[in-house]
Structure 1
Amino acid sequence: MRNARVAEILSAITDGEHTALPARLCAQCLSVLPVSGVGFALMTADGPSGVVLAATDARAEQLEELQFALGEGPCVEASDSGRAVLEPDLGADGPTRWPRFGAAVRRAGVQAIFAFPLRVGAIRVGVLDLYRDTPGRLTTPELADALAYADAATVVVLHLQDRHNGLVGPIDDRAEVHQATGMMTIQLGVPLAEALLRLRAHAYSSGRTVSAVAADVVNRRMSFDDSESS
C-alpha cells in the first residue's frame, strides 16, 4: 500500500456517509488524473460480478457493463492476471487484444484505457478503470497516483463490508478483531494494517462478517499463512 497518498485520498472522500464513497472516489480520481471517465466495479474469483459500484458518467458505466456482458476487456484481463492493464492506444491494439470490446469502445470515442485490479493477496475484490478520449501513456507520477487510487478503492470495498468502522482513524475498536489482527501479523509476517486488510478480504470472499472470521482466528479454528497471499 502507498500509505501516505492512500490515507490522503480516503480522508478527502470520507465524511461519515459510506454509501457514496465509491462515487466520491471516482469523482476525485477524475479531477486529479488526465482521464475522461472512471469506473469502479466488483469482481469475484469467477470473474466479473456484474456490479458497477460507481462511474463518473453514463458512458463509463456502459463500458463497465459491456465488459461484463462480453467477458472480455481490460477490467476482466486485469482481474484475471492480477496486474494493471495499460492500453494507451486502442486504435492500434484494441481490436486485436479484445475483438468485440475493442470495436465497441472505439465507437464510444475512448482512445486509451488503464485498468487496475483491486486485490488483497489472492482475493479479487474489484477493478478501477480509467478511460481517456485521447491516446497516450500515463506519466510515471500519474501512474503512481492511479495506483494509489486503486489501493484506496480496495480499502473502500473491504470497509463497506463493515459499515460500523470508518476509513480513517483507529484500525478497529473491537478487542477480538485487534487480537486476531495481532495473531495474523505473526502468522503472515506483515504489518497490522496489512493483516486487517487480509482479515477483511477473507470475510469478503467467504460471505462472513469480519467479527466471525476474527473469532475463528482467536479461537484457533483457522490460521493464515503464505498461501493466503499467493
Structure 2
Amino acid sequence: MDELILRVARLVAEEPARAGDRGGVAGTLRRLCSAARRDLSAAGVGVSVMAENGMRGVAAVSEPSCEPLEELQFTLGEGPCLDAFASRRPVLVPDLFDGAMRRWPGYAPALHDGGMRAVFAFPLQIGAARLGALDVFRVEPGSLTEGELRDALTFADVAVTTLLDGQERAGPEAVADGLDEVMGHRAELFQAQGMVAVQLGISLVDALARLRAYAYVEDRALGEVARDVVARRLSFDSGMS
C-alpha cells in the first residue's frame, strides 16, 4: 500500500472518538475530518455524500461549527462541494475574493461571513463512480502547499475506501452503517419536493427552488424544512410566496 495512504490511515485510526460520534462509516469519516483538519492546518473539514440520482447529504464534519458551511451548499444549490462532484476535479479557491463571489453569489458571501477566506474541495471518486466530496475550509487566504495538496488528495482516497468498504459490508440494497440518517434526510427532501410541487402546481425543479429559498430566508437547514413539510407542519399552499 502507498506510504501516504498508510500514513493517513494511521492518522485516522489514532484520532480519538468523541461523545456523540455516530457509529460505523459516519464515525470513521468524522475522525477522518478531524485528522485532516489538523494535518492541513484547516479551520474545518467536511465530507458530503452524493449520488447520481440526486441523493446528497453531509456525512461528517471535523466540528459542529463546520456543518452549516457544508449544509448551506445543498440549501443554495451552489458551492465547491457540488462543483467538485460535477466536474470530477478538485476545486481550489485560495482566496474567496478571487472570483468566488461571482461563481457562488449566495454561498461565497455566507462563507466569508462565517470567517472563512479559502476553500478547497476534492471529489470522492473511483473510476466512473462518484461518491461525494471532501471540503477543506481555512480562515486565512493562501494556496495549499504541494505537500498539503498531496495529503488532501490522500484523505479523499481514504474517504472513498471507507465509503466503499462500508457499502460492501451493508449489501447492495442497504445503506452503509452510520449513513442511514443522512440518506433518510435526503429521502424526506424528495418527498417534500413532490408535496410542494402538488401544493403549488409547479415543476419539481421549481418546488426545490421554493424549498431552498424558504430555508435560506428562515436561516434553517434544508433538511429541517423538508421534515416539516412531510410532517405537514409547513405548507406552501397557504398564501406563501
Q: Shorter-chain TM-score: which interval?
A: 0.5 to 0.7
Question: In structure 2, what is the equivalent of residue 112 of structure 1?
Answer: 118
Residues 111 and 158 of structure 1, relative CA distance in 2, 3 Å threshold: same
Is structure 2 residue 51 aligned with structure 1 residue 52?
no
How far does residue 207 in structure 1 lie from its aligned partner after superposition? Answer: 4.5
Q: CA 1:120–1:106 in structure 2 vs 1: closer, same or farther (change >3 Å)? A: same
1:207/1:116 CA distance change after superposition, 3 Å:
farther
1:28 equivalent to 2:4? Answer: no
Q: CA deviation at 1:31?
A: 1.2
CA distance in 1, matches of 2:55, 2:82: 7
Aligned partner of 1:135: which letter? P
Q: Indicate the larger mover: 81-90 or 99-108.
A: 99-108
Structure 2 residue ranges without an equivalent (≥5): 15-22, 176-241
CA RMSD of aligned residues (A): 2.5
Name the SS for the 1:161 alignment partner. Answer: helix
Q: Is the CA contact (8 Å cut-off) linking 1:73 and 1:102 kept in structure 2? A: yes
Distance 1:143 1:13 in 2: 17
* Shift in CA distance, 48/132, structure 1 to aligned 2, threshold 3 Å: farther
Deviation of residue 137 (structure 1)?
0.3
Percent identity, aligned pairs only, is 39
Partners of 1:95 and 1:32 in 2: CA distance: 28
SS at match of 1:117: strand
| Contact 2:31–2:62 (Cα < 8 Å) also in 1 | no
> Which letter does structure 2 place at the counterpart of 1:6?
I
How far did residue 18 of structure 1 move? 3.6
User: What is the number of equivalent residue pairs in this alignment?
Assistant: 168
Structure 2 counterpart of 1:142: 148
Normalising by structure 1, report the TM-score: 0.66
Runs of 4+ aligned residues of structure 1 deviating over 6 Å after TM superposition are: none
The 5 A counterparts of 1:72-221 are 72-163=78-169, 207=173
Q: Using structure 2 for the length normalisation, give the TM-score.
A: 0.64
Taking the aligned partners of 1:152 and 1:77, their CA distance within structure 2 comes to 20
Distance 1:73 1:208, change over 3 A: same
Does the CA contact (< 8 Å) of 1:91 and 1:106 recur in 2?
Answer: no
Give the structure 2 partner of residue 10 of structure 1: 9
Q: Residues 178-223 of structure 1, C-alpha deviation per residue, up to 9 Å, x if partnerless?
A: xxxxxxxxxxxxxxxxxxxxxxxxx7xx6479xxxxxxxxxxxxxx
The SS at the match of 2:97 is helix
SS where residue 41 of structure 2 aligns? coil
- 8 Å Cα contact 2:34/2:63 also seen in 1: no
The 8 Å contact of residues 48 and 68 in structure 1, kept in 2 or not, is answered as no
Q: CA deviation at 1:159?
A: 1.1
